[in-house]
Structure 1
Amino acid sequence: MITLIILLVLIAIVLLVILDLYMAKKYFSTHAFEQTFDQTSGDAVFYHDGEPLFDQLLMDIQQASSSIHMMFFIVKNDKIGQRILQALKAKAEQGVSVFLLTDRLGSFSFDQKVIHMLEKSGIQFYFLNKPRFPFLIYRLNMRNHRKITVIDGKIGYIGGFNIGDEYVGKNGRFGIWKDYHLRMTGQVVADLQHVFLNDLYRASGIHELQYEVFPAMEPGTLKCTTRATAGFSLESLFLQDIQQARQQITICTPYFIPSAPLLKALLEAQKRGVTIEIIIPMKADHPFVKEAGFHYLKDLIAAGCLVYRFYKGFYHSKAILIDHRRCIISTANFDKRSLFLNEEVDVAIEDAAFTAHVEEKIREHIEVSELMTDEKYKQRPFYTRPLEWIGVMFSYFL
C-alpha cells in the first residue's frame, strides 16, 4: 500500500512538471523578448583573456559621465568582483546613474550585505528572472544568461565572460580561462542598450530614464547584427548560419549538446564539402555536460568533422565563424539549454578582416587542443557510458 502511494505521488509530480513546462512554453512563446535587430554598423575590439578585458572595463567605468548599465549572469563577491563593484559604487556616489542586473540563480550566493552597500551608494540593483509562480519549474530553468554592459550609451560590451576571479584564471581547478568578449562602439551599441532596457523593465518596472540613453553615434567600419533570443528562435538562427556556409564552420563552445536539426544540418554541411571544426574543453565545470557531448560527437567524428578538446585550462568561449567572413560572438552555448530555455544575445559581424583576427586566436587555442579521432572516441572510459545516457536524458536542463 505504501509503495503504491509513493508511486502515485511520483507520477503526480512528473505530470505536474510536464504540465508546468508545457503551459510555460505556450505562454512564453508570445511573451518572451526576442528580436533580431536590423543590420547596423560599429567597431569592435576582441578580447580572449579576462585581465585585459576587465582592465579596459574598469577604465571605461571610471571615465563614465552619465550612465553605466551592467548585466551579467554571474557576479561574484571576490577580488575581481570587488574591483568592479567598488568602481560602480564610486561612480554612483559621483552622481552617475548606475544599474546592475544579475540572474537570480546565476548569482544565488550574492551577499545581501553587498546589495545593501550598493544600494546605499546609489546603485540600482535588481535580480533577473526570480523563480515564482506560475510556471515555477520553467522559471527555475529559464535563466538570463546575457552579459551586456553599456556605458554612456556609447560603449557596449557583450560576450561570454562573467565577473569573478575564475574568469581571470585565478581558480586552481580550471587554471587558464579562455573566453571571448567584444568591446563595441558605434551605432550597434544602441541595440545592446535596447536589450538591456527591456530586461531592466521586466526586472524593475522602470520604463523611462531621465537621461539620454540613445545618443547620436557615428557609423562604424563593421556590419553588425544583434540577436536577442529567449528559448524560441536561437535554433533557427543557428540553422541559418550553418546552412549558408559553403567553405568552413568553426564552432567554439564549452558545452556541445545540439538539437537534432542542428546536428543534421552540420552533417549535411560536411557532406557538401564544408570543413567543420568544433572546439570544446577537455575539462568540465558542470556534471554530465561533457559525457552528454560524447553522444552528439560520435556521428560528426565518424563523418570527418574535426573535434578539438582544449586542455590548457578551461575553454568557455562562445563563437561561430562562417566561411572566413562572418563571426558571431555570443553569450549562448551550443546546447539545448541556450537553445530552448535561456535568454541569450549575440552579435554577428560581417567582415573578413575582423573574422580573420578572431580566427587567428582560435588557431592558437587549437594548438593547445587534442584532436579527437574516431579511435580516441572509442577508447573513452567505459564508466562514462552510463553517464552519457543520463546526460542525454536530461540534456535540456544541463
Structure 2
Amino acid sequence: MAHDARRYCALPSPFAMKRGGALRDARVAYETWGMLSDARDNAVLILTGLSPSAHAASNAEDPSEGWWEAMIGPGKAIDTSRWFVICVNSLGSDKGSTCAASINPATGEPYRLDFPELSLEDVANAAHVVIESLGIDQLACLIGCSMGGMSALAYMVLHPGSVRAHISVDTAPQAQPFAIAIRSLQREAIRLDPHWNKGHYRDDSYPTDGMSIARKLGVITYRSAMEWNGRFARIRLDPERRDDNPFGAEFEVESYLEGHAQRFVHTFDPNSYLYLSRASDWFDMAEYGNGSVMEGLSRIRVEKAMVIGVSTDILFPLEQQEQIAQGLSAAGAGVDFVALDSPQGHDAFLVDIPNYSRAIGGFLGQL
C-alpha cells in the first residue's frame, strides 16, 4: 500500500480571510520533489486547478502516478535533479487542506456552509505560508495552471518580491462571463440535487446527480469542439450499450461523459467544489489596478515570465493569456508568449505533454 507523501503546514490561527471571517487551526497539504539548495534559491511552486491534489507526480513515499506525472521528475521539463518542486493543495480543497468538509473547531461538526467565503487570494496566502515555513524567501519560479494560474497572480501581487520568474498556464486575469455562466450552472446542478440538502449531505445520501452533471459540463468546456468532432463524430452506441430509458444515451460522446462523471463523483466534496468554483468567479486582477486589469497586472514584479495558452481554449480564451503577457511585460518582465494550437482545448496542459514540456523545460532551462 502506498504511503502518504502529503505533508501539512499549519496556518497562523486565526487565519484571516479576504472576504471576512477567519479559520482557526487550519492547515494546507503539500508535497515536494528534489532537494532544496543550500542557498534556498531553487524552489519551484506549482499551484493547481480546481480539482487536483498536491500529488503532482510520484515520489518515494507515494509511487502512484500524479496528475502532472509526465512533466515532473529527473530529466523531465520540471527537472527535479535541479529544482526543489513544491505542489500545494488549495485551501478550501478536500485533498488534505482545510475545507468545508473539515471539522469546525468551534462546533466539533463539519463546517459545511459555515466555512467562510473563500477567495483565490486566501488560496495564495495559504500557499505563501507553506513557502515561508520551508525557509524560502524567494521562489525561483511560480507555476500556475488554470485556477492555479489566477491564484499565482494573486500570490505575486500580494507578496511583492517573493517570485523571481513565473510560468502562467492556460489561465486568466479575471473570469469572463462565459466561464462564470458555466460554473454557475455547475453549482446550480449541485444545489438543485435534493441530496445536497443545503450542504447537509452524507456519504449514503450524496448529491450524485448534481455532481455528475457539474462534471459533464466541466468536461465539455475543458476540451474543444474540434476534438469532440475528431474523437466521436456522430458515432452511435451499440444497441446493447444503449440506455433503455426514454431519451437515454444513444451516442458515443454521451457514454464518454458519463464515464468521466462516474469517475469523479464521490472523489470530491460537493461543498468544497462550490466554494472553489465561486472563488474562481470572484477573482479579478482589476481590483488591484483601479478597475483596470492591465494596471493590476502592472503591479506584479518578476524578472522573467512565460505565458502559455491554447487557441482552442473556450474557458480561458487565448486573448486573456495575451493580456497577462502584455501586463507583465509592461511591468518590466521579459515575457515569452507561447500560443499553442493543441486541439485538446483547456485540458491541453494535461494532455499535450510534448508541446508543454518543450515550452516549460526550455524556459526553466534558461533560469
TM-score (norm 1): 0.24
Please tell me whether Structure 1 or Structure 2 has the larger radius of gyration of its CA atoms.
1
Query: Counting strand residues as a fraction of each chain, which structure ranks higher?
Result: 1
TM-score (norm 2): 0.26
